[in-house]
Structure 1
Amino acid sequence: MPFDLHAYLARIGWEGPPAPDLATLRGLIARHAAAIPFEGIEALLGRTPALDPAGLQAKLVGARRGGWCFEQNSLFALALRAIGFRSAPLLARVRYGVPAEVAMPRTHLVLRVDLPEGPHLADVGFGGVTVTAPLALRTGPAQPTPHGPVRLTERPDGLMLKARLGAEWTALYLVGSEPQQAVDIDAANWLVANRPGGIFTANLIVTRAPPGEQVVLLNRRLTRRDPTGGESVTLLEGPALGETLRGQFGIALPPGELAALEAALAEDRPGRIPAPG
């Protein structure tokens, strides 16, 4: 199925002809992160998200749904290719919220984009701390993004991406340099969608990054976070879940899907993140 670049650009609110340059890449990432929500609803409902071009366009563009990293960055790669960028998929080990002594598989998809200015990291799918600007793939000083500074530090097995969350530098993920094949990405996608007790098979996670804030729904806890680390929290009850999905994230689930989601949240699943307090 040919990629419908016009429909994708309309979905993210892009106006004018895009070009394969750094300024366009910066604008695409910011608009994509604001318009297309990160969400793991498929895995919570026991389904493995499709990564084929037709399925990605039907869900994230046509149906105006969201997706997780494998869907988000696979769709973004299709758009970049259609515009004329050169990119390659990389896999990373998530470190955000993971104790340092715990080994993690490569289960996060990102993109390396080759530009005249040098290689850059593009990632439109890291949930509540999605990086909303391209990053030069080099260590050194912090790099600014619309949602706060980030930096890359060198490790023996790759580059560690850290974000300034409040007063602390927090590790997000360790990205390797070897481009991945489609079979590697499909295997990682299946593992995350089917792992018992995994974060996405046990929890509802939906996020969006409009200008000036990150909006994060974790089960029934809605958090709005500003770039300085300030937060406001709302606990959702009754019909507020469906209303929040529609109003905050643009996700309008059919009644049967919303009922299945409510039922999944009512179950006591291994790996469920408890509500604070």
Structure 2
Amino acid sequence: MNQILPLELPNGISLEIKREDLLHPFISGNKFRKLKYNLLQAKSEGLETVLTFGGAYSNHISAVAYAGKEQGFKTIGVIRGDELGDKITENPTLKFAQDCGMQFEFVSREAYRLKTEPDFIAKLKDKFGSFYLVPEGGTNEYAIKGCEEILTDKDANFDFVCCAVGTGGTISGIINSALPHQKVLGFPALKGDFLKDEIRKFATNQNWELVTDYHFGGYGKVNEELVQFINQFYQQTQIPLDPIYTGKMVFGVIDLIQKNWFLDNAKILMIHTGGLQGIQGMNTILKSKNKTLIEVQ
């Protein structure tokens, strides 16, 4: 569903947002897309357990846990930070995943860096038996296939398609399905230029660019300006934005519009990739620092 934004924009520019966050109440946005073909593949291989990786407030962990519950898979989450093992009830994401039946394996940050190493995976198989492995963030060839379905024929009239970038999977699928006249703009939620190489592993076209000025200090980092923007945007549009991904992307797009970055009369589509479950965790952090909270329902 595309939604026209009730905002006054200069130079004849039109701006719409694709509400991927409304795809499913718990398997949100791009996570729904990424898991679709992965879970079909797990079933085709006859595997009953799905194992994946994530941090304390991971949208991916939350989505995998619910998808497993919904589709009859046992789920295992390898969680970054062994200190979190006795703090599950204090963490809304981990509590939700546990309530969905996910089993956790908490590991140190040092050990977590080895998550793609064969020896690390072998030890997990020794402990848990056979499983279908979904990488951190869910990005692999099956995820790209799912994300290629985000754009439809109804989106052919847009000049620019904009989305947040985490692991690079969502934007890769969008790049592959974008039309020749469309430019795909990615707004990384973390610092660093390494994402270009990750995207090139999966993206088949050259019609894209990363806009790296709106990460707000890095992954999971926010400031007062971003929180105030998210709250104001919700008041104006009744559309909630998460602070880790989509909120930063929407902030960036509107800022670029105000700076006359886009051509006159440009038609822009923003992809809302979901992740709203992360608001509660972010507000927990903001509250502990006596900062302004994200006020969306």
Higher strand share: 1
Q: Which has the larger radius of gyration?
A: 2
TM-score by length of 1: 0.26
TM-score by length of 2: 0.25
Which structure ranks higher in relative contact order (CA pairs < 8 Å, sequence separation ≥ 6)? 2
Higher helix share: 2
